[in-house]
Chains A and B, each alone.
Chain A
C-alpha cells in the first residue's frame, strides 16, 4: 500500500510539473525544451500501451511502432483526402490500427515467447516497408502536412494552439486507463496468463482471446501517439515505424520498470533527456548510448521505478 501511495504521489508530482513547465521554461527563455517534453510525452503514451502487453501480459512485442506509424499516416492520408476534423481522423486511426492489430495479433498469438517477438518484429517491418512504398504520400521521404487537423474547428490541437496540453491530457488519460485496465477483471486474467497460461486455461479463460484483446487495445492507444506525433511534427515519415523505434519503446519500459505504475513515463523522460544530453556532447552519441543500454541490462534490474516504489515489482515475461 505504501508503495502504491508513493507511486501516486510521484505521478501527481510529474503531472503537476508538466502542467506548469511550459510557463516556467518560457520565462527562463528555454522554450525549445517544451518540444523535448512533448517528444517524451508522445513516447510515454506509446510505451504505456506497450506495457499493457509486455508488463501486464508478458507478450514481448517488437513491432509496436507499426501502430504509431499507422496512426500518423491515417492522419496524414485523411488530411490529404480533405478530412480535417481531428476527432474523425482519430476514429479512423483507431479503426485502422485496431483492425491491423486484430489480424496480425491473431497470427502472432498462435505462438508465444521469442516466436511472438520475431513475428511482431516482422509485421512491424512489413508496415514500415509498406509505408515507404506509398509513393503518393512521400514514400521514403515522408510527407509534410501543409494543413493540420482541427478540434471542433479550432487550432487547439496544433502547435499554433495548445497542443502541449492536449498531449499532456492524452498521456494522463492513457496512464489512468492502462492502470485501470491492469487492476480490472480483464487485467487480472491477463496477468494470470502471463504468470502461468496453462493454469489460466484450466481456470476457464481462453488465453488467446484475452491476449488478442490486449493486443488490439495496445495497438489502438499507440496509434493515438502516432496521430498526435504527426500533428505536432507537422510531418509524417516511415521512420516512425522503424524497428529501432520499437526497440526504443522496449528500452523505455525496461529502464522505467516493467509493469509498474509510472515506469513508462519515467523511462520515456529518462531516455529522451539522456539522448538529448549525449547529443549535446557529441554527434556520435550512439557510441555511448549503445553500451549504456548493455550496461543497464547487465547490471540494473528493476528500472527507475524502483527508486520510487521498491516494494512490488511485476516480474518480467
Chain B
C-alpha cells in the first residue's frame, strides 16, 4: 500500500474519530453528571442528519439548514428530557435502558415512515466542495478537512467551557461527587438540563456534518452509539479528555484496520484464508483494544478524577 493511501486513511480515521468524539462527549457528560444511561443518544445523531436533510430542502442553504438543525436538535433534546428522561433519573439503569430503547425503536421507525427506508445523501456545501492538494499526488476533500477542524474546535471549546467556567466547574464536581453539588444548593434540575441540552446538540451537530459524507438512513445512530460506548470505556467515563483521546484512537484503528488487516493477515496466512480472517479481524480490532484496556486499566485511560 502506498504512503499516499496510508495518509488518506489516517485523515479519514481522524475524521471518523472527531465524529465519535462529538457523540461520546455528550454521552460521557450525561452519564458522568447525571448517572443516566441514554441509549437514545445515538438517535439524536440520526435526528441531526435528517433535520439537515429536511432544512436543506426547505431553505436550499446548507449553512442556514445546519443552524436550524442544531437549534431544532437542541429543542428536541430538551423536549425528550422534559417529557421522559427526567422521570428516569432516580430509577435503576435497566429502566433507563429500556425506556431509551423504546425511544430508539420509535424514532428509527418514524424516520423510515417520514423519509423512506432508502439511504439519502446530502450535497457537500459549495464553499467546501473542492479538494486541496496535500502532496503532489494527493488531493483531499476540503469538506472532510473542515469536519476535522470543526471537531477540534468543538473539543477546544468544550475543554475551555468545562475547565474554566462556573457551569463547567459544577459539571466536573457533579461528575465526581453529585451529592456535593446538590448540597451546595445548586439547581440540579437546571444543571441537568444544560448538560443534556449540550449533549443533544453535540450529537445533532455530529449528525449534521456527517450527513454529506455518510449515508443518512434509519438506524444510522445505533452502531455509532455502541462505538461511542467503546470510546468512553476506553477513555474513562465522565472524562472529556479521555473521550477525545479514545475517539481518535478508535477512529484511526478502525479505519486503518479495515485497510491493513487483510494485508497483515496475508503475511502469515494463505490468501484464501486471509480474505476471510482479515475482515473479521478488522471488525474486531476496536473491541480487542477495549478488552486490552479493561485488562490493564479498567478505569479507562484518563478517568475523571475520583470516579471509580
Contacts and interface: CB of A to CB of B under 8 A. Distances in A.
Q: Is chain B in direct contact with chain A in the complex (CB below 8 A)?
A: yes
B222 interface: yes
Interface stretch (A19-27, A120-128, A201-209, A227-235): A120-128
A110 B308 CA distance: 12
B78 interface: no
Given A125-B223, A286-B105, A286-B109, A254 B98 contact: yes
A62 B39 CA distance: 11
Nearest to B105: A290
Contact of B283 (A129, A247, A254, A284): A129
B223 A130 contact: no
Nearest to A287: B109
A88 B226 CA distance: 35
A251 interface: yes
B108 A122 contact: no
B283 A60 contact: no
Classify chain B: how many residues form its interface, as a range.
35 or more
Contacts of A287: 106, 109-110, 113
Nearest to B228: A118
Contact of B284 (A119, A129, A254): A129
B226 A125 contact: yes
Contacts of B222: 243-244
Contacts of A292: 102
Contacts of B62: none
Given A114-B37, A292-B102, A130 B93 contact: no
Nearest to A294: B102
Given A54-B94, A119-B294, A317-B94, A126 B279 contact: no
Given A125-B287, A130-B284, 5 more contacts: A54-B94, A113-B93, A287-B110, A290-B109, A298-B99
Contact of A293 (B91, B105, B113): B105
A226 B295 CA distance: 30
A126 B37 contact: no
Interface in A97-114: 104, 107-108, 110-111, 113-114
A254 B101 CA distance: 13
B233 interface: yes
Interface of A: 54, 60, 62, 104, 107-108, 110-111, 113-115, 117-119, 121-123, 125-126, 129-130, 132-136, 243-244, 247, 250-251, 254, 258, 284, 286-287, 289-294, 296-298, 316-317
17 contacts: A104-B291, A111-B294, A118-B37, A118-B230, A119-B290, A119-B294, A122-B233, A122-B287, A122-B290, A123-B287, A129-B284, A133-B279, A247-B101, A286-B106, A287-B106, A290-B102, A290-B103
B298 A110 contact: yes
Contacts of A119: 233, 290, 294
B280 interface: yes
Contacts of B103: 290, 294
A244 B94 CA distance: 15
Nearest to B27: A118
A253 to B, nearest CB: 9
A218 B91 CA distance: 26
Contacts of A117: 37, 93, 97
A104 B106 CA distance: 31
Interface of B: 31, 37, 84, 87-88, 91-95, 97-99, 101-110, 112-113, 222-223, 226, 229-230, 232-233, 237, 275-276, 279-280, 282-284, 287, 290-291, 294-295, 298
A80 to B, nearest CB: 13
Q: Which of B95, B223, B275 has the most CB of A within 10 A?
A: B95
B226 to A, nearest CB: 5
Given A119-B233, A135-B275, A298-B87, A110 B294 contact: yes
Contacts of B109: 284, 286-287, 290
Given A60-B94, A130-B284, A297 B99 contact: yes
A114 B298 contact: no
B94 A316 contact: yes
Given A54-B94, A107-B291, A290-B105, A122 B276 contact: no
A287 B106 CA distance: 5
Contact of B226 (A104, A133, A243, A254): A243
Contacts of B110: 287
A109 B279 CA distance: 28
Nearest to A289: B105
Contacts of B230: 118, 122
B105 A60 contact: no
Nearest to A112: B308
Contacts of A107: 291, 294-295
A62 B294 contact: no
Contacts of B99: 293-294, 297-298
Contact of A135 (B91, B232, B279, B287): B279
Nearest to B36: A114
Q: Which of A60, A104, A293 has the most CB of B within 10 A?
A: A293
A133 B277 CA distance: 9
A133 B283 contact: yes
Contact of A250 (B84, B94, B106, B284): B94
Contact of A126 (B95, B275, B287, B298): B287
Contacts of A296: 98
